[in-house]
Structure 1
Amino acid sequence: MHILLVDDEPLELEQLEYIIQHRFPYWTIHKAIDASKAVKVMNEYPISLALLDIQLPGKSGIELGLELKRLKKLDIVMVTAYQSFDYAQASIRLGAKDYITKPIIEEELCKVLENYQHSDVQSHIIQEAINIIHEQYSQKLSLSFLANQIHINSAYLSRKFHEEMKISFSEYLNDYRIEMAKQLLQESEKSISSISEECGFNSQHYFSVLFKKQTGLSPREYRLREKV
């Protein structure tokens, strides 16, 4: 499942991402610091759930939620540091599925998110396929290899994967590889070339092109920004 986190505080985004990745490792997390970046992510990825901070610069989280719902069918959870009745009412009118106050309590957040744990994976076949991708993403994975591992026809797996995940096998694999590359860029001093290879990319050039397409930054620019 693709999930969108929107908050203008980088530390808040990092905390949310850390908790969610730890408890729900199969999810693909996208982050945005304002409404314009959130809309851009929505137009590029099959977002199923968005966690929106109410207090955003420019367009508020409530206004953003209304815009996102016009773009695509998705669930929204509002996050705020203010325990305001007006905010709660506005969230209800928006159709938000839940309302979480800061500071974020991990168990409270995970209790809300557990409702979505199996919303995008409806079959054992696809769950098994995702497990293999997450375990072997650094290897030369192909759809036919994956199908052989699960003992099913590759054409059937391709169709089933797209039906349930709303994204193709190759897109999901590349998205996951990019997420793993982000972690290495933040947490290690390994070269871009080493990270590219470690995350399963045959070409550093292709890795860099895909990384910039997804993040708007080159791997080097992303590393410098995260370490500031």
Structure 2
Amino acid sequence: MEFKLLLVDDEKPIRKKLINNTDWAGEGYQIFAAANGREALDIIKEKGIDILVTDIQMPKLSGMNLIEEARKNSSHLKVIVISGFAEFEYAQKSIRFGVNDYLLKPFRSKKLLEVVNKARDELIKEKNDEQRLAVLRGEISSYINDHKLNTIYNWLIDDQFFQHQSLIMDRIDLNAVLKRGSRDDILKTVNKIIEELKSVKLNKEKLYVVLNNLILESFKIIKDLDYEAEDLMEIINKKRIEALDYNDLKEIEILLKEFLLRLHDLISFSPGEKNAEIISEMKEYIAANYQDGITLSEMARKFNLSTGHLSNLFHEETGESFSDYLNMIRLNKAKELLKTTDDKIYQIADQLGFNDAYYFSSWFKKLVGASPTTYRDNINLL
């Protein structure tokens, strides 16, 4: 199956590298490219793009506005944001637009392919989930018909109910929220669930099934972490659920928040020494892999935390942002290589994970105030 990939950057040299440095056709992608957000939006509307890779700062329509508009045309669109050092922290705030991943310039072409393939795998999983949902509906329908059950059970296979339940599970990631999210992430997720329920009128039987499925799914996620059933059953308040007024969404909201927060507390790490240990491990990982284009979202997945929570934790423990720290590591290594080796500028650029010497020189001059060549020639003065 071929997937449609749109690459957007207003800088022509960078756009050409995005297009030409990877054998996209060989990887199973049909490639489209755009020089600005407005052009990109037209392509998304006309071609049915599956995966969008876009810069943040662009003329005519910014990357953020492009994503927001594109979402109106395709809820299944996967989005990868690429950004320079200056706007990276801003780019990370784009999570509310449903961004799937981030890449901090500069990055290797293999890193871009890696995150694009990850987005493709998510699309495949969603399609398989939809197919499994269709199979489940068919099985339930056959059971109802074979056993000549009362038509009161037909709501179980009602199109609207199944579609809505599927949408809720697609639009929230319980696994990520429970395993890697903060308490605030959980509260926001519940608010999102309630907003989804408000948008469609479901009777109390359907609400009952939606709520119970959410609870069962949550238990399944925590059970995968090897917690005992007894630990989980202590968290749920059976009497509260039995007494719940399914006509009152506010009551459902309060119960869901209480339940998910208690689950989160069960598996959340203790602060203090554990936080310092995580950041220490992160620093070791960065020191060993800084040349591979590490992203904060990649680190969040590795350490089972939400991107926002890890960003705050890193700043609290180190006093600086993740992107500042990563740039400091690369810059110190660049200075060391310029001082202690006779390697050419393009060789040093390659060792640091830059795709070309020009971009490396521009990045170095922006941070140091002098080009790599000038720095090397005037080390004693500088």
TM-score, normalised relative to structure 1: 0.48
Q: Which has the larger radius of gyration?
A: 2
Looking at secondary structure, tell me which structure has more strand per residue. 1
